[in-house]
Amino acid sequence: MPEVPERGPPLRLELQGIRKAFPAVVANDGIDLAVAPGSIHALLGENGAGKSTLMKIVYGVIRADAGRILWEGAPVDIASPSDARALGIGMVFQHFSLFPALSVAENIALALPATRDLGALSVRAREVSRRYGIPIDPARTVHSLSVGERQRVEVVRNLLQEPRLLIMDEPTSVLTPLAVRELFRMLRQLADEGRSILYISHKLDEVRALCDTATILREGRVVGRVDPRRESTRTLAERMIGAAPPALRRTPLDRRPRERLGVDWRALSPGGADGVGLRDLRFEVGGGEILGIAGIAGNGQSALLAALAGEMRAASADAVRIDGEPVGHLGVRARRRRGLVHVPEERLGRAAVPGMSLARNALLTACHHGLVRRGWLRPGAISAFARRCIDTYDVRCGGEHADARTLSGGNLQKFVVGRELLQSPTVALVAQPTWGLDVRAAAAIRSALLGMRNEGVAILLVSEDLDELFELSDRIAVIAAGRLSPARRIDEAGVEEIGRWMGGELPDTSAPERTGQDHAASP
Amino acid sequence: MRFAAPLAAAAASVLFGSALFVFLGLEPLAVLRTFFLSPFRDLYSIGELSLKVAPLALCAVGLAVGFRANVWNIGAEGQLVLGAMAGGGFALAFPDAQGAWLLPAMFVAGALGGMAWAALPAFLKVRFNTNEILTTLMLTYVAGLLLSYMVYGPWRAESGYGWPESEPLQAAARLPRLLDGTRLNPGILLALAVAGAGWLFVARSFIAYRMEVGGMAAGAARYAGFGRGGMVWVGLLAGGACAGLAGVVEVAGTIGKLRETISPGYGFAAIIVAFLGRLHPGGILLASLLMGIFYVGGEAAKVSLGLPTAIIGVFQGMLLFFLLMSDLAVSWRLRWRARRDPVAGA
């Protein structure tokens, strides 16, 4: 039975003076937090502000060095996640902990203590999913589910334990706009029943739309407690990063730019990390233009990037053109010599070798820019290039001889983006450039990309972050189930339509005349 | 820490070796003295030591080139045999040749022979993606049988009383002795030169850089367009060439003819040497010195203490085992219990 809503004290959860220090950093420094019953409470902050540490303390994953936790008015000691669950605390992690080979019901059973009757469990799961309008089928195996569906399994698994506090860690980072709306509706229903929600996010629009209270963290301390419905995105951002966010300016294109990257690829065999093939790729990117590719991860993005970068070669040379020259038959380095650069999604292990210095990592892709002469390395030139990259893109590191693995995610990404952009490219392939970065680093990278666009580089931007795509792109297309939608001009594209396409309802592109929509942007 | 592991492994091998001697009823200090001091007892012994160090260092420097790119050539022993056959066979084919060109030609032939034997696995790997660990190892046994066939058949000497041996190589095909009263030959100088070249290659060449990327992060190598095929070819051919040179050093140096056994397992011991030397040419020189001490010291222990020669293999095995263990200990911490009891400490 759901908890009867009880307004007023005692508080559902109260944290007093929580402190947690790690060897290098104080992650939480005297944090007070109060969550009322039936409240949707946002925990807002940049990466590294201490949100995750605080939630791990509440969920019993790690222990605080100092401070008190009060649960419904009484002090408690939460020594493990099972203690937390016994109290009535549930948590949906950013990275799900499901077994792909098992069915939904089996996955749910694994999380519940002493459950043996799968049939009865399935009935309960169906009942919960009906009550909250979360459609799941207990009989399906998890590997056949989309990311959004997997999240529903995690949520249902938690709801079966009748939690009175549900912690959601960055839940919308993998969802389509439609799925986000469904999630919000469900969370509001849970709150109406008197359950409390702790909602961790750095997406300000979502917090304003959903939450009734927000606690803002910066560098391990509470810097504000506000009602986000009464704040603007801008004021929230200022509190979060402690300064006004840098504004980006994207001047609209006055005319259709000249093609720099052209693609006409009939069929692409499955490749890349997600094993999704592609069909009927036909598009072009002009100089001084950013073409945004939206889509949920695993819909063919890896194959698309591998094909364009030259990691996969085409049967015909005409499948890919750089500045009009057919390069489809060429490999990575030959295409790079023609001005192509590539910022891949994975930073460590792909964009950079973790155990090599930044100087040697500069050599990884900038090798044909005077860093190698007749097959021999030029250490002076290599160090100079790395230093230029570090200085120009404000990479915080211990110098060019520091190993790549010692850099924070944001600084390494600035180094990678800088290394690629310093090669005076004609075409840039950029994937998830700001994923997981804090606001400041993300802004630096976005403004670097816009700067290159203004200098006439053709940029293909693959991202899951719709806000970023709408902020940067001149045109936007969607990749879903291995197909690419026609591109829309950004001022003519609606979030609704893009969201529908991301869910798989692409317009028919098989007939050539239908791509006429694409040419709406042409003069 | 990277360099502490080999030292810890060497120390542990000595410690456990001593324990073994005690168990065998021997005086451990006396055995250790024989093992570690007798190779330096006089000039002759030092010469003997250098004869062991040279082929070990040659093989290991070549192997390290491939190992850095995760190309696992386990067949240096077979490539050494093929190099010995090619170099020695060249001299046998021109029994009247007396010029100074003969020795260099033998070394070229030996390097090519080793490379040819390494080219087979390289081709199979690149073309059919076969596992080079298996193919190089299996070809080692083929090489041994090929050598047996040749010394029992076409190369068998008339004057050899029926032993499976070739005629002795002519004087012009023999490495000169550098010091009177020793068997020291220029093989050690060749090993030093190859180690120097290997160091230059590793530190400064773009190919070696690409191979290092391939070994450290395969995803980054694909992203940068560093093809795997080239790395496999370079890695295996470098190993084959160096092992081939080592084979010629043996035939033209100490042995002086072709016979059924050319190497007491240098090609396999070189795998341990390469890792003990952290795949770095300088480290490899030090590691091959240690391994050479085991060989010479083991021989001395056999003569003066009656220990079986298997003791050399025991030491090699312990060294590799402890090296792998200390590498593990450098990067990982042992914890006896997975996690704290959830109720304790509440």
Q: Are residues A509 and A413 part of one domain?
A: no
Distance CA B102, CA A272 (A): 54
CA distance A322 to chain B (A): 17
| Domain carrying residue A119 | 13-241
All residues of chain B having their beta carbon less than 8 Å from the beta carbon of residue A412 are: none
All residues of chain A having their beta carbon less than 8 Å from the beta carbon of residue B207 are: 375
Tell whether the torsion through CA atoms of A138, A141, A142 and A146 is positive or negative: negative
* Segment holding A165, helix H or strand E: strand A165-169
* 3-state SS assignment for residue A62: coil
Q: Are residues A289 and A207 part of one domain?
A: no
Residue B54 lies in a domain: yes
Would an 8 Å CB–CB cutoff place A20 in contact with chain B? Answer: no
- Domain final position from A396, A424, A452: A424
CA distance A335 to chain B (A): 10
Cα A492 to Cα A279, A478, A509, B94, B117: the distances in Å are 25, 14, 19, 84, 65
Nearest to A346 among B213, B219, B342 (CB): B219
- Domain final position from A381, A406, A424: A424
pLDDT for the residue numbered A39: 94
Lowest mean pLDDT among A442-456, B52-66, B315-329: B315-329
Residue B263 lies in a domain: yes
Nearest to B206 among A79, A350, A376 (CB): A376
Q: Are residues A429 and A304 part of one domain?
A: yes
- DSSP letter, residue A352: B
HEC per residue, A447-458: HHHHHHHHCCCE
Q: Are residues A221 and A292 part of one domain?
A: no
- DSSP letter, residue A314: -
Residue A8 lies in a domain: no
Residue A53 lies in a domain: yes
The one-letter amino acid code at A333 reads R
Q: Which DSSP string corresponds to A366-412?
A: HTTTTTEETTEE-HHHHHHHHHHHHHHTT--SS-TTSBGGGS-HHHH
Structure tokens at A76: 């408690």
Distance CA A162, CA A181 (A): 23
Residue B36 lies in a domain: no
Is pLDDT of B114 > 50?
Answer: yes
Q: Are residues A154 and A52 part of one domain?
A: yes
Say which residues have a Cβ less than 8 Å from residue B285's Cβ, sequence separation at least 6.
Answer: B53, B57, B191, B192, B195, B277
Strand A320-322 relative to strand A475-480, pairing: unpaired
**CB of B121 within 8 A of CB of B239?**
no
Residues B102-110 have a mean pLDDT of 96
Structure tokens at A316: 């015909």
All residues of chain A having their beta carbon less than 8 Å from the beta carbon of residue B217 are: 349-350, 353-355
Would an 8 Å CB–CB cutoff place A75 in contact with chain B? Answer: no
Opening angle at CA B75, ends B265 and B133, nearest 5: 130
Is pLDDT of B42 > 70?
Answer: yes
Residue B24 lies in a domain: no
Distance CA A406, CA A49 (A): 19
Nearest to B205 among A342, A356, A376 (CB): A376
Residue A5 lies in a domain: no
CA distance B205 to chain A (A): 4
In B, minimum Cα distance to A344 occurs at: B223
* 3-state SS assignment for residue A121: helix
All residues of chain A having their beta carbon less than 8 Å from the beta carbon of residue B204 are: 376-377
Q: Are residues A132 and A27 part of one domain?
A: yes
Q: Which of A75, A72, A73, A69 is nearest to A88 (CA)?
A: A72
Q: Are residues A419 and A327 part of one domain?
A: no
All residues of chain B having their beta carbon less than 8 Å from the beta carbon of residue A331 are: 225, 227
Q: Which DSSP string corresponds to A457-503?
A: -EEEEE-S-HHHHHHH-SEEEEEETTEEPPPEEGGG--HHHHHHHHT
Distance CA A229, CA A227 (A): 5
- Residue to substitute from A77, A356, A420, interface B, most B β-carbons within 10 A: A356
Residue with tokens 């609606």: A494
Question: CB distance B209–A349 less than 8 Å?
Answer: no
pLDDT for the residue numbered B110: 97
Question: CB distance A353–B206 less than 8 Å?
Answer: no
Q: Is the peptide bond before A113 cis (omega within 30 degrees of 0)?
A: no
- Residue to substitute from B206, B222, B226, B330, interface A, most A β-carbons within 10 A: B206
**CB of B279 within 8 A of CB of B67?**
yes
Structure tokens at B282: 């300088």
Say which residues have a Cβ less than 8 Å from residue B17's Cβ, sequence separation at least 6.
Answer: B32, B35, B314, B315, B318
CA distance B208 to chain A (A): 10
Residue A7 lies in a domain: no
pLDDT for the residue numbered A8: 53
- Residue to substitute from A77, A327, A343, A353, interface B, most B β-carbons within 10 A: A353
Residue B1 lies in a domain: no
pLDDT bucket at B345, cuts 50 / 70 / 90? very low
In A, minimum Cα distance to B344 occurs at: A79
Residue A175 lies in a domain: yes
| CATH number (domain holding residue B107) | 1.10.3470
All residues of chain B having their beta carbon less than 8 Å from the beta carbon of residue A83 are: 342, 346
How many independent structural domains does chain B possess? 1
Question: CB distance A349–B219 less than 8 Å?
Answer: yes
| CATH number (domain holding residue A147) | 3.40.50.300
Residues B89-105 have a mean pLDDT of 92
Residue B334 lies in a domain: no
In total, chain A counts a number of residues equal to 523
In B, minimum Cα distance to A308 occurs at: B223
Q: Are residues A515 and A396 part of one domain?
A: no
* 3-state SS assignment for residue B259: strand
All residues of chain B having their beta carbon less than 8 Å from the beta carbon of residue A342 are: 223
Residue A243, judged by CB atoms within 10 A of its CB (0-12, 13-18, 19+), counts as exposed
CA distance B214 to chain A (A): 10
- Domain final position from A241, A270, A293: A241
Count of Cβ atoms closer than 10 Å to residue A36 Cβ: 18
Nearest to A79 among B220, B227, B345 (CB): B345
Q: Are residues A265 and A203 part of one domain?
A: no
Nearest to B220 among A333, A364, A377 (CB): A364
Residue B318 lies in a domain: no
Residue A137 lies in a domain: yes
Would an 8 Å CB–CB cutoff place A352 in contact with chain B? Answer: yes
pLDDT for the residue numbered A523: 34
Mean pLDDT of chain B: 90
Is pLDDT of B340 > 50?
Answer: no
pLDDT for the residue numbered A243: 66
Distance CA B10, CA B287 (A): 10
Buried b (16+ CB within 10 A) or exposed e, A53-87: bbbbbbbbbeebeebebbbbeeebebbbbebbbeb
Nearest to A350 among B212, B220, B342 (CB): B220
First to last CA, chain B: 38
| pLDDT-flagged residues of chain A (< 50) | 1-7, 272-273, 510-523
Nearest to A363 among B209, B343, B345 (CB): B209
Distance CA B330, CA B96 (A): 58
Residue A3 lies in a domain: no
Is pLDDT of B343 > 80?
Answer: no
| Domain carrying residue B267 | 44-308
ipTM of the complex, rounded to two decimals: 0.83
Question: CB distance B223–A309 less than 8 Å?
Answer: yes
In chain A, which among 269-328 make CB contacts under 8 A with chain B? 309-311
Question: CB distance B224–A365 less than 8 Å?
Answer: yes
Question: CB distance A311–B222 less than 8 Å?
Answer: yes
CA distance A51 to chain B (A): 24
Count of Cβ atoms closer than 10 Å to residue A394 Cβ: 12
Question: CB distance B342–A82 less than 8 Å?
Answer: yes
φ/ψ region of A254 (left if φ > 0, alpha if ψ in -120 to 50, else beta) reads alpha
Q: Are residues A290 and A186 part of one domain?
A: no
Would an 8 Å CB–CB cutoff place A363 in contact with chain B? Answer: yes
How many independent structural domains does chain A possess? 3
Cα A270 to Cα A267, A273, A481, B302: the distances in Å are 9, 9, 11, 62
Question: CB distance A372–B206 less than 8 Å?
Answer: yes
Q: Where are the alpha helices (DSSP H) in chain B?
A: 4-23, 28-37, 43-67, 76-93, 102-128, 132-152, 187-204, 206-216, 218-224, 228-250, 266-276, 281-305, 310-331
Q: Are residues A463 and A385 part of one domain?
A: no
Contact pairs from chain A to chain B, CB under 8 Å = 69
Rg of chain A, C-alpha, whole Å: 25
Opening angle at CA B27, ends B25 and B33, nearest 5: 140
CA distance A118 to chain B (A): 28
Structure tokens at A234: 């801008």
Nearest to B217 among A80, A311, A349 (CB): A349
Residue B251 lies in a domain: yes
Question: CB distance A351–B213 less than 8 Å?
Answer: no
Residue A268 lies in a domain: yes
Q: Are residues A433 and A398 part of one domain?
A: no
In chain A, which among 21-50 make CB contacts under 8 A with chain B? none
